[in-house]
Structure 1
Amino acid sequence: MKFKILIIDDKDHSVSESSTKLISKLEESHRKFLTLRADIEGLWGANEQGDDVILLHDFRQYEYVFIHDSFNEPLILASLKESFINQVSFQTQLVFFSGSRSRSRTPKQERLRNINPDVSYYAINRSQYFENMNNFLDSAILGRQDIIHLYDKSNPIRSVVQEELKKAIMVDLEESIEKAARGVNMEKLLEFLKITDISGYVETFAKKDDIDFIRSLDML
């Protein structure tokens, strides 16, 4: 799957909810989608007059670029921020995160007011970014990519997919235990749950009566 995120965060590992700590707590299956930078060297700079941004990097290889938006030590000078957003937004989707931003359970989009009001970018609280990145990456891995999962983890995408597969198996059960146990939905569920002995589970389910089948399915 070609899904890549660039994170630019100047906060080191000692800082609470730093990006290095975020990446260290993720599984390797999730970490591989992230590239972390602590500085902007080789990414962008200012022109000779210092009044405009010059991009030094092609950001089109990333679906999202996350940038720490510090008030005291900004990675992008305030005078150049709108120009930067306007240029980069034609290549990728920008997400600015900061501990000073308010929390929101719905995606918070902001727009350029002066240069190009049609250009938008996302803003998110650092704690939400830190807490929900795993859920957001899950949505991409499962083919359900949606930035809502970066803001709201009250209904984890893995739980949603798991319940959908169980409901599909229950529909199969209405036809027969054989179809429910040996059907494609059961196989998908067991693979999703990373169960190694799939054939053993299938045979066990195939021997159950309806009540025991449903009870065992609920326990998965």
Structure 2
Amino acid sequence: SIPLCSSSLPLSLRTRCKVMFASQDYKSALEDAQLALKHKLPDELKLEAYIVMSECYLKMNDKEKARISWTIVSKMAELVQNTDLKTKADSILSNLHEHLSPSKDDTSVDPPELYEGESRAIPGTSSAMSMRRSKDKGRYMVANERLPVGAILTSEEPYASVLNFDKQNNHCLHCYTRLKRVVPCPTCSGVAYCSAPCANAGQVYHQWECQFMELMIGS
């Protein structure tokens, strides 16, 4: 991945956000446009990024943010004397409700549903299970009924976890999902994230290991 300090990153983000938009991955396109705008860009490229943001908000059915973004586009178009674009932006702002469309970009992942629902007595465990105690075995779990093959009996957040080194080039360091786009670490190219929220969360701990990544991987 390209570190955030790289001068070529804004141009790469600009190109990728268009690809993500064409793929109807509006959330990813929006994040790339926002990341690109954090860097110094010529006015024309800034305008392009804001247009992508505005279109994404429309596709994601976010009326208020779409209104703000298209207002910025309108003002920037006026500054660069792009009459056609200003007319388009003003038209969309005047009839915003007609341009909104439901989002098709739902990448959220729900936790697996426990068989027979969650136990009130044992959080994260199926209600089809009970805890027993004995002097010989200590505490142990038993099924209250005959369980079907594939039944999910327990599910909870891990206390601690780490991504295997051989997966760090193609999986998100924070949430472990396989990468279809990369949000890089600000200072190294050894790890990658799938989104800006994951990058922000991951840097809380990665900042301490960042400068030692090559040593850690080679050890």
Question: Which bin holds the TM-score, normalised by the shorter protein?
Answer: under 0.3
Larger radius of gyration: 2
TM-score by length of 2: 0.26
Greater strand fraction, Structure 1 or Structure 2: 1
Higher RCO (CA 8 Å, separation ≥ 6 residues): 2
